[in-house]
A and B are shown apart, each in its own frame.
Chain A
Amino acid sequence: MERRSRRILLLFIVPAMLLYLTFWILPVLMSFFYGLTDWKGLGSYEFIGLKNFKNLIRQGTLVNSLKNTVVYALVVVLWGNLQALILSLILNMKLHARGVFRTLVYLPALFSTIVAAFLWSYVYAPYYGLISEVLKLLGSTWVPNLLGTSATALIAVAFVETWRSSGTMTIIYLAGLQNIPDDVIEAAKIDGCTSWQSTRLIKVPMISNTIMINVMLGLINGFKSFDYVFALTGGGPGTSSNTLMYSIYKMAFMESQFGKAEAMAACAFVFILVISISVLSILKKKEIEL
């Protein structure tokens, strides 16, 4: 009886499974297949084996985009978390008008990507831009061109991403900090902990769960970076700010090389999978230790 009912119940999963297979698994598998063809988005295609992958490596597109994506993700994770942690520690203090400050910090998160990018394109602009005008007021003759210089373009774009996500990250940290019981902090004070020591040795370790959430969120945002690159630099100058997702978009939608773009997407899939699994397992271990 037990077995029969289980079989009947299994039957009910079939519609959902079918939908999942048709609309999720099949397209992914098909996309891997197209990576082995020279499909141009229109008409017929030929099977060309691993040639797309060879081209991606030979032309340096894959390595360059991977490198840029890693740098981007690192800036987003490291700077983004540091900034949010500091902000949340400040906002957790007993300040006057704390509510106002908290609202102000969250404000960037309310802008849509395209508005944020538009605003920052004027902050960075070498002529009439906010940064250059401020420098001029201070008497500097140096005009920074952060988006137009190969060395700084990618970091400047990543900074905009951290600016926008800082509000959300700060809120998550604040929630973590407020979960720490007051008696723990009080006990530390009685034991003679300075505020720096209590932050470093008590508060930060006690919000390790929250840190993990924010690191994962940062990583995900960093690896799927497309929108700010698209809106601020278009991958330039040259290919200096081409990230994985932007390269895929450019190949498919600007050069009509869908096959090659699918090959790139397959590489990106494997790469992100490996990184996510390893980061997760490292953080899980840490969490238990703590």
Chain B
Amino acid sequence: MKKRRLLSLVLATALTAAYLSGCSGSSGTASTASGSTASGDTASASDEKVTLSMMVTTRPNTGGKDFYLDILPELVKEKYPNINIEVEQLPTDQYKQTVRLKFASGQGPDMFNWWASLQAKDLVDAGYVKDLTDYPALSKYRKDIVNSYKFNDKVYAIPNGTSFLTTWYNKDAFKKAGITQLPTNWDEFLQVCEKLKKAGYTPITCGDKQSFVIQFGMYQIAASEVYGENEHFDDELTSGKTKFTDPVWVKTIEKMETLYKKGYVIQNSLGLSQDQSRQAFVDGDAAMIFDGSFGYDALNKQGKVSFEKGMFCIPSNDAGKKFVYNLTPSTGLFISANSKKQDAIKKVMDYWFTEGTPLFEQWMKMNSDISCYEGAKDSRDMINEYLQRYSNDVAIYNCNNAWPEGVSDAMCSKFQEVITGSATANDVAKAMQDKFDELNKKSS
């Protein structure tokens, strides 16, 4: 008995000791880790190795090399053999949360892509991102786009460029349906849909099962309908002067609803994912799809039949009224304010954003966004032609840039109910306003 007690005591002591040594072991590793970071700091000045972390949203698979995943680390390594760039990619939803959580736990990435305006506000307010106002290359970018990263007169990002929401259409189907001219107002747009329907085409395909897709059509309609009359609608939304329940937004939602009611949108769209819907367009099963410039690669794939494609922004304006189209800052490159590797970051940025360097040239060539750098020309003719066509019109950013996160989601899921027939445009507007009030109060 005594022996057994002794044995258990010895065992227990050994276990506790092992546990404690485990603790000290881990703290030992921690101190080495911090030691290596410390040496990393000085390394950026000398030639010792530095690893920079970079985060981007998941890249579309094109089969070739990707700028962020391949070219950037390779070219930087070539120029500065001591600087290593580790790139991590995540799908948008997880990305937003992961970056926020990483910063909250003090391990934010050294460099990362993030969205403009209100979507970046919490990171700026928390002091996580570096003020880049004095970065010389910034003056070469389109001013209005740079300003969308401005908070309290300080700029916090280098813009990657712009993108736009648009309606892709099948030119061959339009010809066969006898449509010779692109619509210039809402009535003409409805006539186009009617002609397509009569010619036996499904006019529009939408992958509404993934509710975020609803934004692609809604924001195009909102561009002329909401901002045609009042460009400052969003500013006034924050002050309470305008509301989502105002006639302009209700009318926007009603116009979108009309497309479903009249049978212009593919049947059972709520059972279709974005990919399935894109496939329906590429295969020639539907004549139009609400998408964006970002869908360029996916929508130019070869489908069942080949046909010529074009783009136009839904003219939701009434005849004779002002037309506004969608053009929005896509993302910008933000730098962690608390990173201890600022020297290395600066080296990479100078290499990246200096005209004429191999990295800059590659970036201009491979950027999937439309560059807003002075004198830069996009390599995609369709996009250049599109922007040229609308160059005299007023452009508005994505509506949700001015909304707290959650409002667009409320809009999309309520609109799904409109599609099923269990809610009205007024219900959607009210759901948006309620969500806005709930979230806005908290941010103020």
Contacts and interface: CB of A to CB of B under 8 A. Distances in A.
Contacts of A254: 93, 405-406, 409
B392 interface: no
Interface stretch (B77-85, B109-117, B271-279, B393-401): B271-279
Nearest to B415: A238
A42 B96 CA distance: 12
B268 interface: yes
A236 B280 contact: no
B420 interface: yes
A256 B280 CA distance: 34
A257 B439 contact: yes
Interface residues of A, number: 37
Interface string B272-294: 11001000100000000000000
A262 to B, nearest CB: 14
A257 B406 contact: yes
Nearest to B12: A12
Contacts, number: 105
Interface string A242-254: 0000000010011
Determine which residue in B103, B209, B442 has the highest number of CB atoms from chain A within 10 A of its CB, and name it.
B209
A239 B413 contact: yes
A55 B438 contact: yes
Contacts of B419: 237
Given A12-B12, A255-B439, A256-B405, A148 B269 contact: yes
A40 B270 contact: no
Nearest to B98: A253
Nearest to A257: B406
A15 B414 CA distance: 51
Interface in B191-210: 208-210
A125 B271 contact: yes
Contacts of A140: none
Interface of B is mostly: helix
Contacts of B413: 235-239
B385 to A, nearest CB: 32
A94 to B, nearest CB: 43
Given A234-B211, A236-B211, A127 B272 contact: yes
B125 A148 contact: no
A236 B439 contact: no
Nearest to B125: A43
B46 interface: no
Contacts of A255: 405-406, 409, 439
Nearest to A59: B434
Contacts of B12: 12
Contacts of A256: 100, 122, 405-406
A236 B5 CA distance: 62
A55 B5 CA distance: 58
A214 interface: no
Given A126-B272, A143-B268, A147-B271, A42 B442 contact: no
Interface residues of B, number: 44
B386 interface: no
B268 A41 contact: no
A125 B417 contact: no
Given A42-B122, A234-B209, A253-B93, A127 B405 contact: no
Given A147-B270, A237-B419, A250 B439 contact: no
Given A146-B271, A148-B269, A255-B405, A237 B420 contact: yes
A256 B93 CA distance: 11
Contacts of A165: none
Contact of B268 (A126, A236, A238): A126
A126 B417 contact: no
Interface in A79-131: 121, 124-127, 129
Contacts of A15: 16, 19
A229 to B, nearest CB: 13
A118 to B, nearest CB: 10
A238 B411 CA distance: 10
B137 interface: no
Contacts of B280: 127
A162 interface: no
A8 B416 CA distance: 64
A238 B422 contact: yes
Contact of B126 (A38, A43, A234): A43
Contacts of B268: 126-127, 143, 145, 148
Contact of B276 (A5, A127, A238): A127
Given A148-B270, A148-B271, A5 B104 contact: no
A147 B209 CA distance: 8
Determine which residue in A55, A124, A146, A255 has the highest number of CB atoms from chain B within 10 A of its CB, and name it.
A255
A236 B420 CA distance: 11
A149 interface: yes
B270 A145 contact: yes
A150 B438 contact: no
Given A42-B122, A255-B439, A126 B267 contact: yes
Interface in A140-199: 143, 145-150
A257 B9 CA distance: 50
Given A40-B442, A150-B422, A237 B270 contact: yes
B391 interface: no
A55 B268 CA distance: 33
A234 B271 CA distance: 12
Given A42-B104, A253-B93, A126 B416 contact: no
A68 interface: no
A253 B210 CA distance: 17
22 contacts: A40-B122, A42-B100, A42-B104, A42-B122, A42-B126, A59-B434, A125-B271, A125-B272, A126-B268, A127-B272, A129-B271, A143-B267, A145-B270, A147-B209, A149-B270, A235-B413, A237-B417, A237-B420, A238-B416, A239-B417, A254-B93, A256-B405
Given A15-B16, A147-B270, A233-B209, 12 more contacts: A15-B19, A40-B122, A41-B101, A55-B438, A236-B211, A238-B417, A238-B420, A239-B413, A250-B409, A253-B93, A254-B93, A256-B100
Interface of B: 5, 9, 12, 16, 19, 93-94, 97, 100-101, 103-104, 122-123, 125-126, 208-211, 267-273, 276, 280, 405-406, 409, 413-414, 416-417, 419-420, 422-423, 434, 438-439, 442
